[in-house]
């Protein structure tokens, strides 16, 4: 018997987290920031969340157990089962810290990259993600290759697991709503039109008097903050994270979603995300049942992601749902 | 320790030169920030791997010359095909450089996982593990070293200089001694003027793709004589260094690119060693050093006016 409700809840949570990522990417792309390092900020948020979510409850209860051994993980589980106030406050603190750390990191990163062209920005952010991943992989207090296990679910104290999942889903979608609200307000405001002009011709925007580096820094800080929140949401949803989750492939996945829907179109981004994230999730669900085959299905999944990017760019560059009221060419 | 550092400094400088000089040249002609350069290295290495396994099992011998020729041909062909299928149509749509770069990202994923699939299929067909292949020894190089009286010398010490010098020599010869090479340089400087003076720009661009990708694949062949475990991630693991070097060169100057190759190789080998000896830092700090150099380059001497950037540096208050 397949658990349909459970499947739907996890699917919508999964889509929700991806929506936060793709909405922020839409804002970045429409202001001319080619962010190939989504995963850097996402991973930073996730690791910040995991750090707080595991070390803090252990420290508060006065335990000396490490969050990486069995005792520590079991202790975290018992704490999370019994103490709703602690669970929720740790979760809220993680969200705030995830936002702050990622936003600050984004703000600092704009200093080296605001002088150079978008391709160089893209590459720098891409390598930031890789360097951070290698940092997690080689840092002992971050669990090295095993990563964090036993990050407590903030609603673990509820008697039914289903209730916890549903509540978590609501939290995730609140953040989707917030991101959507902010991104659409910015993109449809005078500031949004400045951003668009900046993307189309930075020199003209500069000569029109707009401090483009400053605007870019602010945009990247804001979007990175929300990307960090998505990372925290992922960490608490999946309850374990490891460096292998934060490879550049994840960034391309989000890019494929945004390109499929229509670059710089919010509705398109949402559409593309829902489509590709569903396929992605279904593939995760189905692949284990196929068993060993000659060709690993995961490879095919990535080839499809790459092909989606190429085919849309070549055949339908405006995407499935183009932005209205303007040329939505990148 | 210091000799080991010197040797790897020497080898990696040559490796980076082999990749970055064609990369910068290709950028000047095609105006594509091309991430598939990682695939070119990997495809070069994997042509060598497949050929090595096939030749060893069929004839009992392998040959560097044959490997180099086939890597060159395979990779060059892939580059020309990717130009015809992706970059040329996009350029005709007059998209911005960003889109070309994003497309190269898409192509990168596709080519990467196609190679994974190919090596999976070949592994199961030949009942061996090609996804992590051991170091390759080339019989013609062994013969050469024995003739020259260099018994017991690692093959990489011979192959790296040989291929790097050959690659530079071919590039120099083609660019400065042939008509088509001068046409390539003309297109690199100004493609509109080049086409006005009767150069078939499209053909020259195709040739550039073939030549630069083929030369890049030599780095993959070099890698097979050095690394103990050849995997389909070879090219990806070099991409940070390669682009940092290209950015040091401002994506235009070949001399600065060469200097950047030496710098990055030096920082990686001597810097990591110094930091681990004197400060006790782990050697896993290596990519972070390269990344620091990248950030420093972007702050101190940013490549302005290329790849979608504004052509001058805007600093608050300062007038230049």
Domain count, chain A: 2
- B279 in any annotated domain: no
- The pLDDT tens digits along chain B (320 residues) read 778 888 888 999 999 999 999 998 888 888 888 889 999 999 999 999 999 888 888 888 888 888 999 999 999 999 999 999 998 888 888 887 788 888 998 999 999 999 999 888 888 888 888 888 888 888 888 888 888 777 777 888 888 888 999 999 998 898 888 888 888 888 888 888 888 888 888 888 899 999 999 999 999 999 998 888 888 888 888 888 998 898 888 888 888 889 999 999 998 888 888 888 888 777 778 888 888 888 888 888 777 766 666 666 655 544 44
**3-class DSSP assignment, residue B196:** helix
Q: Are B125 and B53 a contacting pair, CB within 8 Å? A: no
Asked whether residue A96 falls in the same domain as residue A132, the answer is yes
Domain's final residue, options A246, A279, A313: A246
Domain of residue A78 covers 4-246
CB pair distance less than 8 Å for A255 and B102? yes
* Closest CA–CA distance from residue A57 to any residue of chain B (Å): 30
Q: Tell me the CA distances in angstroms from A135 to A145, A243, B278, B282, one per residue in order.
A: 10, 9, 20, 11
| Nearest in space to B126 (alpha carbons), one of B28, B198, B216, B56 | B56
Q: Which of A187, A213, A246 is the last residue of a domain?
A: A246
A269 and A201 within one domain: no
Instruction: Please list every residue in chain B whose beta carbon sits closer than 8 Å to the beta carbon of residue A115.
Output: 298-299, 302, 304, 309, 313-314
In a domain, B245, yes or no: no
Please indicate, yes or no, if residue B25 is contained in any of the structural domains.
yes
Of B279, B275, B314, the closest CA to residue B292 belongs to B275
Q: In whole angstroms, what is the distance from residue A121 CA to residue A39 CA?
A: 15
Q: Both A235 and A133 in a single domain?
A: yes
Nearest to A112 among B86, B299, B313 (CB): B299
Same domain, A261 and A218: no
**pLDDT for residue A163:** 81
Among chain A residues, the shortest Cα distance to B121 is held by: A294
pLDDT at res. A149: 84
Domain count for chain B: 1
On whether both A200 and A266 belong to a single domain, the answer is: no
Compute the nearest-CA separation of B270 from chain A (Å).
20
Q: Is residue B202 part of a domain?
A: yes
Contact between chains at B113 and A329 (C-beta distance less than 8 A): no
pLDDT tens per residue across span A66-113: 777 777 788 878 877 788 888 888 889 999 999 999 999 999 988 888
Residue at B131 is within a domain: yes
Same domain as A235, residue A222: yes
Cβ-Cβ contacts under 8 Å for A27 (sequence gap 6 or more): A183, A186, A187, A195, A219, A222, A223
In a domain, B118, yes or no: yes
Taking CB atoms and an 8 Å cutoff, what residues of chain A touch B101? 34, 118-119, 122
Note down the domain range covering B52. 17-232
Residues A253 and A330 in one domain: yes
Mutate to test the interface with A, among B39, B102, B240 (most CBs of A within 10 A): B102
Q: For an interface test with B, which of A36, A116, A301 has the most B Cβ atoms less than 10 Å from its Cβ?
A: A116
Residues A268 and A221 in one domain: no
Domain match, A172 and A304 both: no
Residue B131, chain A, CB below 8 Å: the answer is no
């Amino acid at each position: 018997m397949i658990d349909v409700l459970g499947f739907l809840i996890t699917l919508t949570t999964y889509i929700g987290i991806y929506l936060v990522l793709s909405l922020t990417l839409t804002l970045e792309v429409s202001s001319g920031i080619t962010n190939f390092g989504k995963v850097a900020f996402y991973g930073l948020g996730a690791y910040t969340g995991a750090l707080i979510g595991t070390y803090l409850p252990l420290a508060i209860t006065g335990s000396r157990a490490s969050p990486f051994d069995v005792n520590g993980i079991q202790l975290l589980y018992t704490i999370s089962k019994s103490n709703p106030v602690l669970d929720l406050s740790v979760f809220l603190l993680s969200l705030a810290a995830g936002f702050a750390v990622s936003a600050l990191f984004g703000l600092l990163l704009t200093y080296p990259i605001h002088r150079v062209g978008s391709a160089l920005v893209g590459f720098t952010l891409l390598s930031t993600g890789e360097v951070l991943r290698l940092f997690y992989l080689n840092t002992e207090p971050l669990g090295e290759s095993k990563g964090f296990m036993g990050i407590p679910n903030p609603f673990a104290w509820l008697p039914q697991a289903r209730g916890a999942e549903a509540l978590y889903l609501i939290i995730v979608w609140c953040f989707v709503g917030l991101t959507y609200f902010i991104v659409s307000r910015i993109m449809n405001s005078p500031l949004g039109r400045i951003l668009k002009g900046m993307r189309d011709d930075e020199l003209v925007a500069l000569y029109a008097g707009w401090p483009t580096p400053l605007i870019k820094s602010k945009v990247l800080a804001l979007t990175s903050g929300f990307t960090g929140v998505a990372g925290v949401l992922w960490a608490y949803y999946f309850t374990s994270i490891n460096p292998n989750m934060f490879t550049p492939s994840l960034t391309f996945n989000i890019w494929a979603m945004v390109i499929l829907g229509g670059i710089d179109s919010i509705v398109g981004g949402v559409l593309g995300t829902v489509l590709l994230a569903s396929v992605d999730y279904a593939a995760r669900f189905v692949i284990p049942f196929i068993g060993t085959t000659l060709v690993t299905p995961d490879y095919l999944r990535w080839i499809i992601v790459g092909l989606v990017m190429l085919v849309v760019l070549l055949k339908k560059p405006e995407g499935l749902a183009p932005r209205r009221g303007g040329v939505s060419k990148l | 320790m210091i000799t080991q550092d010197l040797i790897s400094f020497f080898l990696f400088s040559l490796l980076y030169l082999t990749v970055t000089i064609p990369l910068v040249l290709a950028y000047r002609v095609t105006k594509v920030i091309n991430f598939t350069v990682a695939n070119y290295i990997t495809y070069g290495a994997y042509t060598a791997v497949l050929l090595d396994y096939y030749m060893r099992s069929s004839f009992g011998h392998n040959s560097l010359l044959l490997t180099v020729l086939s890597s060159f041909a395979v990779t060059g062909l892939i580059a020309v095909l990717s130009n015809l299928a992706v970059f040329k149509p996009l350029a005709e749509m007059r998209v911005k450089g960003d889109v070309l770069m994003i497309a190269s990202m898409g192509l990168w994923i596709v080519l990467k996982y196609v190679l994974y699939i190919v090596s999976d299929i070949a592994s199961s067909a030949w009942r061996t593990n090609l996804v992590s292949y051991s170091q390759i020894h080339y019989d013609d190089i062994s013969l050469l070293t024995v003739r020259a009286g260099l018994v017991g010398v690692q093959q990489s010490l011979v192959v790296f200089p040989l291929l790097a010098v050959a690659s530079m020599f071919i590039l120099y010869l083609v660019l400065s001694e042939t008509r088509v090479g001068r046409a390539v340089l003309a297109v690199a400087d100004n493609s509109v003027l080049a086409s006005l003076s009767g150069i078939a720009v499209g053909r020259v661009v195709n040739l550039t793709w073939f030549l630069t990708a083929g030369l890049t694949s030599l780095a993959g062949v070099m890698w097979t004589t050095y690394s103990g475990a050849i995997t389909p991630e070879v090219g990806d693991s070099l991409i940070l260094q390669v682009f940092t070097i290209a950015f040091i060169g401002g994506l235009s100057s070949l001399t600065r690119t060469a200097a950047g190759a030496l710098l990055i190789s030096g920082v990686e080998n001597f810097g990591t060693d110094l930091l681990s000896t004197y400060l006790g830092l782990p050697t896993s700090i290596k990519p972070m050093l390269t990344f620091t150099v990248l950030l420093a380059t972007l702050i101190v001497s940013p490549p302005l006016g290329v790849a979608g950037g504004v052509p001058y540096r805007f600093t608050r208050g300062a007038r230049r």
